Structure 1
Amino acid sequence: MRYIIIGAGAVGGAIGGRLAEAGHEVALVARGAHYEALRTHGLRLMTSEGTRTHRLPTVDGPAALGELRADDVLVLAVKTQDSEAALEAWGPAPVAGGGRAAERLPLVCAQNGVESPRIALRRFRRVYGVCVWLPATLVEPGAVSAAGAPLTGFLHLGRHPHGTDETARRIAADLGKAHFEAPVVPDVARWQYAKLLGNLANAIEAVTGVLTSEEGLALYARVRAEGEAVLTAADIPYTGEEEQKRVRDDKIRFEPFDGSERGGGSSWQSLDRGTGTIEADYLNGEIVLLGRLHGVPTPLNELLQRLANTFARERRAAGSLPVAELVRLADEAVAFVQEERAPRP
């Protein structure tokens, strides 16, 4: 199988680079300065084993690859807000032997949140969800750091909305030879919703910096509790923290190469690079949406969604809001909702 990594940034670059190291055919899809760097200098992948440069076919869209192959696997690794455009571009791509990519090829959504597989299923017949546990950073155009060890990442994989098949097992076997563990599960959404609860911290981290203070961690606990209440009201199952720890055990740890502390996650990186967009609508915004559908107030997640989008739109510096100020805003948001819902005399 050939893996076409649509969005060869932090996660996509780490997956693509590791698959290439394991001897698999890989093509990278990127844009802008990252695309130019990959084409000119190759993908520089930094792991605990050292730095390797992979000179892989790199394109900015399907036309440059020509007719796709029947054994191609499309790995969607763009941010969710960019999924629609990517799917629109790749769905109609012709496949050798007839038909289009949307009808004939498997699409693997290696992304945060739960929305992209739903978007993809409107266009592609065979969609696979992935719960991505992969500490990775786009260091600069052409360079990706993947600091997980001894495994590079943990990637639960399954058909969307549920089930497994031989394609999932073959993909998982390839990932297993490439420094990942990829359990094939019939209920991948259960793992994705659990990851979503963890990703509710992304917006806090993006606007205030890496979560280390007691104040910040206490705020995240409140935000997560709001998310758990929503998932319970919506009757959506998710993997518990104990089960997650038991499965991952000590198989993946963050081990920075220079002894530094962990840097910011994907949302922080979006602000730091000044992309102008952020995935909060599909993380905190997913909880807000479900809360509105099921009558559960979500003032904390609404606040974080709004703040993260404002920071991205106005290109404010990542981590520039003091934690104490965010906590004050959170308390005000909760108080306002409580006052609104209080019985009137």
Structure 2
Amino acid sequence: METVRFLMIGVGGMGREHVRRLLQVPEAEIVALADPSAAAIEQVTERFPELKNVAVYTDYREAISQANADAAIIVSPHSMHFEQGMACLDGGLHVLMEKPFVDGSENAERIIAHAEIVNKHLAVAYQRHLMGPYIYIRELIQSGELGKINYICAYQAQSWLKGTTGSWRQNPALSCGGQLNDSGSHLLDVVLWVTGLEPANVSAFIDNRGSQVDIDSAVTVRFREGAIATFNVVGSASISWHEDVSIHGDLGTVLYRNNKIFVAKEGQRELVEVSEELPATSDPNRDFVDLILGRVNEAAAPSSCGLRIARLTEAAWKSAANGGQVIHL
């Protein structure tokens, strides 16, 4: 195989971002678009004129059977991911799934097992695994320069409540959860990925701020290795975006501040901004093409990442529903 033929399932806002990325990959070809919204199809073909002659389907099942694709990218409302993903796998397609993977850990386990049975790749579009600053932090921790990780403070603020008002993202039947399950999913995932730590206990307080879904979440995690983490996911913020991650080891500290990195290694009392060249940044679409073509052995964010975040998120919701009760994973 020299070219990977893609079916796009869902071409709304984030779907168009996946289209943009794929069109920059020489070995990728978009052969079909599946979306029940005529407006979404019109918007994506207007933005990307090269797609005007691509096959269009309102039913993703017809697209799977007729498009002659090798792989699918699923960017539909969250509650649809499992059914669509299983159908794609049964149709012989590799699947790249937008976060937060599928609805719940039980479905995550089921689709992961099914992908193994049909021998198809299944990955999650957690793009932070391919961002230079976070790759640098992961490598720094893996090198042992920070020593044993003791404490993590992760913070994300976004005008999510206001920005998603009236959309499917605040409809629990479609979104399967709120900010913690949406943008917050990236924050949970990247901390687990860069540190390699395994959650043991979770406690959380959550406020829906009048919405049907979670908006502001304060989540505390004790890891099996002994570290403690606090996750602060603020969906009611007035600002468009801010993300901080602070990681403290017994030998050093690293801070991520909106793409800037500050480090204090052993013996240093003051933080120093990292000025060296960071690892190259890529994206999940380029990575998935490389995976299918056999250039890499594993996706940057394999499906197991989606499963562990589903388990952690479910534990946080359960804890908050029970007054902050500690939930054991």
TM-score normalised by length of structure 2: 0.40
Structure (1/2) with the larger strand percentage: 2
Structure (1/2) with the larger helix percentage: 1
Q: Which has the higher contact order (CA 8 A, sep 6+)?
A: 2
TM-score normalised by length of structure 1: 0.39
